[in-house]
Amino acid sequence: MGVDTDLYLPPYVTVRDVGKVVGILLGCSSEIKTFSSGNGIHCVVEGVKVKGFDSDYGLAECASIVIDGDQPREMMYHFEFSTPNDRLHNKGWHGIILRSYSPNIALFVAVIKFFGGAVDFNDCDETNIDFEVAPEDSIWGHDWSSTDNEEWNELQHKMNALRPLSKDDLRAYALDATYA
């Protein structure tokens, strides 16, 4: 096993929205579109898919986020994410685990800046949380997921306003990463 970077997301964050934010941060284009019913808007991100796992795969508590953009990626999203002996254990958090490379840390930090949550840069060191943003201090700015009306529109516009991570952003955590 190697050294990983862990992303902890609050329970109210949806896998659909995480997929959109990750896609935009990795260079997928986004736009605001009106629902086909004409009632409301939504942020559409090209090249982002969220897939469940077949029941015989044994991962009902996970989904796969697939990004087909400038930086194609696939990552497993855990709906039941906890780590023994840390303060986030058994609180219903969601998460993603990727290897401890600077671009992965930068991606996770940007996702946390948007939704709130925490990142552990190195899951093998003594520090459980290296970066944390309270939900009220995040770009989204709330500790709940929007479902309709103005809050929904606010979330869609805030996602659409995100910009891809730059090369400098992706290199920013080189000293924190385990791998070059």
Domain ranges of the chain: 4-171
Position 84 pLDDT exceeds 80 = no
For residue 58, pLDDT over 60 is answered with: yes
Is the pLDDT assigned to residue 138 strictly greater than 90? yes
Q: What was the pLDDT predicted at 177?
A: 94
SS (H, E, C) the chain: CCCEEEEEECCCCCHHHHHHHHHHHCCCCEEEEECCCCCCEEEEECCEEEEECCHHHCCCCEEEEEECCCCCEEEEEECCCCCCCCCCCCCCCEEEEEECEHHHHHHHHHHHHHHCEEEECCCCCCCCCCEEECHHHCCCCCCCCCCCHHHHHHHHHHHHHCCCCCHHHHHCCCCCCCEC
- Which pLDDT value is given to residue 179? 94
Read off the pLDDT of each residue in 51-62 and give the average, rounded to a whole number. Answer: 78
Residue 115: pLDDT band (50, 70, 90) is: very high
19-32, pLDDT tens digit by residue? 999 999 999 999 99
What's the mean pLDDT in 95-120?
96
Q: What is the mean pLDDT of residues 87-115?
A: 90
Q: What is the pLDDT of residue 59?
A: 74
Q: Which residue has the higher pLDDT, 31 or 94?
A: 31
Q: What's the chain's average pLDDT? A: 89
pLDDT greater than 90 at residue 85: no
